[in-house]
Amino acid sequence: MEIKDRSKLLTEQRNPRTLNIDCKTTLEIIDIINAEDARVFTAVHRERAHIAKAADLIVDAMRNEGRLIYVGAGTSGRLGILDAAECPPTFGTDPNMIIGIIAGGEKAVFQSIEGAEDFPENGAKDIQQKEVNHRDVVVGITTGGTTPYVMGALFEAKKRNAKTIFLCCNPETIPNFEVDVTIRPIVGPEVITGSTRMKAGTVTKLILNMLTTTAMIKIGKVYENLMVDLRAMNVKLTDRAERIIMTASGVNREDAKKLLETAYGNVKVAIVIQKLSLDYAEAKKRLDANGGFIRKVLLNPY
């Protein structure tokens, strides 16, 4: 969807509640921004059914060896990369399961490359390079709903029979081709006109968190509300892994350390070992047989 005059887009309009923000005290400015940010949560709530539908597509993909691929430019691209980067240490995912792609490539993560978003063929090319296929889900993030790079990527993904999700913050912008799910949180004009790194960025971050966290829960990487598939790769995460075992199993710190060692650093296996008095091999076997879900193993202990 090409729009030469973007002045009609809601994300580009002036916010009547912030017209005099340049005359305010520091605290008043903070209060104005805070009040505008509060509108984000209502916008997310209104889109919850579409977010749930998108999450289910992602779960289906992951259960069938597919990937979640975020595509965006500028802030949108960086937020996708951020969400993708946070999943391996938190949920023990393969780094290739969730991927973030940004217009302009790696350099654009750290430095603005504004012209990179103007070429749909580059979006298509990046999707081709990732060898996107029917097992994958591609989320195109474009708060204005018009970014050519993102549209090119989504269209190429659709051609390759991937599932496609369109995330934008304008009420009227739509792709000129069919997508599987549209998520459209309407947060209104920004505090600073056109600065979509603000409310639009915040609502994007919240929704991406929802998509991946929900997917991780649904594929067995959470037990109760504990991140039982985390990788204990540093002091903080090792401490967290031990505390998770303590919480889930009711053991003390020293026993949690021993369990983690017995389980070769696998928190899930450590919990099952303790709860069902099994050795490593049997605990791992039962987890594998139940799709990695601790709760299912405990409900079917034999």
Catalytic site positions: 86, 117
Residue 83: closest CA among 35, 145, 139: 139
CA distance 176 to 291: 39
Q: Do 199 and 36 contact (CB within 8 A), yes or no? A: yes
Looking at the chain, which runs of residues are DSSP E strands? 68-72, 98-102, 137-141, 163-167, 181-183
d(CA 218, CA 291): 11
Helix, strand or coil for residue 137? strand
Strands (E), 54-111: 68-72, 98-102
SS3 243: helix
Tell me the C-alpha distance between 82 and 15, whole Å.
28
> For the chain, percent helix, then strand, then coil, each to nearest 5?
55, 10, 35
Residue 190: left if φ>0, alpha if ψ -120 to 50, beta else—which one?
beta
